[in-house]
Structure 1
Amino acid sequence: MTSVLILAWLAKSSTFVGQSAMPVVTAEAAIAVHAESGRVLWGRNVDRPMYPASTTKLLTTLILLEETNPNEVIVAPEDVKSVRGSSLHLMPGEQISAEGAAYALMLRSANDVGYAIARKLGGSEDGFARKMNDYSAKLGMTNSQWVTPHGLNNDWHKTTARDMAKLASYARENAELVAITSTQKYTIQRSLNQKDTLLETKNKLLKEDPRIKGFKTGYTNPAGLCFVGYWQTGIGDVVTVVLNSWDWAADESALANWAEKSFAERELSASTEISVAKAKDDQELKVRMREPVRALASADDSAGARLDVGGLAVTAPIEVGQGIGTGRLVLPDGTEFPVDLVAENSVERSFDLQEFLGNPVAIVLVLLASGFYWYRRRSYERFGVG
């Protein structure tokens, strides 16, 4: 009975993007994006506000790496023990390096380390939250609001699957971050607690699938199971996000496998017919793309691509291969590519007497031709010669 309810819920809540065979994903909100092109390959509730839990630490770590050097010292505040949840068990006044803090955030998911970073870089959690919001705004994350550095639940601390995919696409370009998040074990150097130094990743996919290169798990009761992932696949870099999942690892694998199976680099083309002003016998013009578009696409994309020429107006005569402007190749999910247009057939111009008589040059030519004709005719009548 439970499985029937799950499938019914999935069918009701999914936002499919035109593909014939969909991945089975349990998450309330999820997305798979081709990072190089930015194309959304699949999504569900991608703009729904969601709790991100500890996937928040991806943003915190990016700010840390960009604003410190690896050996810079992070000092635990006096009230560090008040931070609840997963922890490095920092002691007040304890020191770790910025590099160690990054590993502690991404592998141990240490909330107390996130708090220590916020106090160092922002002066307070509120000050660091302003940094987080400014940073995400620059990445175009328009539906996110950050309040804490670690993702412990706060009613105002929310993001979306689409926004987290934007963050992941940017994060994959940070080699230091990728190295950290692809590490399974790390021994941290610390000044006081010498017994708790081994950090082990919570990303179990690192042991199971060589395509996964990061990033971060997350969980709280309100948020459910979450993951933001970076995959290196046969179709290029793919970033995936699952929020409020029943099984984040299965969901992530399903998204990566489906994307790699469903998409490939393909040549896309389309044509259409348009009416032509002043065409002889009202002949229509077949318009095609000058060159096919080569892009990541599915078989459904190839079959469903259409050529949109907008309000293109053309007037006869038209020759085969003649350039006639620009248009857009549109895929079933709305993805667009600008294209140059050419004529696939020729179109003759119809004779328009009114237009002809309105042309002064034409009138002069007619008069000259008429005069020459009457001159020749009179010469023949008078002298019998042409």
Structure 2
Amino acid sequence: MKPKTGNNANGLRLLTRGAVYVAMVAVFLVGRAFTQSPTPASDYELKRINLPGATGAVALDYFAHDRATGKLWVPASNTGSVDVIDEKTDAVSQITGFPTGEIERRGKKITVGPTAASIGNGVVYIGNRGNATLCVIDAKTFTRGECVPASPDRDVTPDGVLYVAATHEVWITTRPTLGADPAAAKSLQVFDASDPQRLKWKSKIPLDDLAEGYAVDDDRGLFYTNIEEPGKTVAIDVRSHKIVAEWNPGSSDLQGLALDSARRFLFVACGDHVVSIDAGHGGKVLDSITTGPGLDNIDYSPDRKVLYAAASQAAALTAAKVDDYGKFHLKATVPTAKGARGVVAGKGETAYVIDPAEGRILKLTHK
């Protein structure tokens, strides 16, 4: 029997059309997942959590979320305390007794105390700019341990503090103490945290200028920070303490950093926008999203693949989904408060924003 070539050809054409149609539908659905309209701000709830003892402005800066205990650690600076917020009840516990002192900021003297926190191995590390020390607190009992100087010569005070699990170290970005040579702060200070309860100064890593912001890739042993004056982002090997890469994000106003370590996307806050950098392939800028002016510290939820950026002058929090190509897709823009800056991602679709002017934390949750 002769084959029915005509019918087979028609069938093949139908199959081909069907395959093309299925492919087009798949592309449409995938594209729709990333191009759908942003979630309305009304779908988010903004709760104000007042900090104990705050009767006015509080010089809030770096704070941290401990996923293991469900606690948000907020160094409350000029109140001389560290406040701990329970993520379920929003109840606030206070750890008091931290010294305060004067620093100079933009030509003015202000009173500060503890201003930075980082989650370690069963402990929380607190940087106190008021007396230029680095302190240890038990993450469960809230018992305060010993405090050590931020540097052997006591010329610098902690700015950002970050625990580096890959090497069991604590790295700090710094600022000069009042009256000290500003050049002293052009470095990172590194502490041995092999005994989590007892920090020991280990080394100093010289830099071209002041460091701003941080992120760490513990799997690959890389520490990221911005260098202010040259306007560049650098990657430092956490074992050799050598700079292994330098990138230009395209801005002179560099602020916070956040990292998607699985996909190697590094997010850099640049004044009024955030750029996505391909840290695994030469530091190419992949995308940019406008947030409004006044960015500071940003954060990223690896579970939800969502970037959070709070713009203080725009009084808005931007939430953006990040796709597999490092592209941003606006999820929501939520009104906050003038001066509210610095954000930390919590569990699920929860984010926390500092509101220094009112001495409070703004908790954002998806309804």
Band the TM-score falls in, shorter-chain normalisation: under 0.3
Instruction: Give me the TM-score of the superposition, normalised by structure 2.
Output: 0.22
Larger Cα-atom Rg: 1
Q: Per residue, is there more strand in 1 or in 2?
A: 2
Q: Per residue, is there more helix in 1 or in 2?
A: 1
Structure with larger RCO (C-alpha < 8 A, sep 6+): 1
Instruction: Give me the TM-score of the superposition, normalised by structure 1.
Output: 0.22
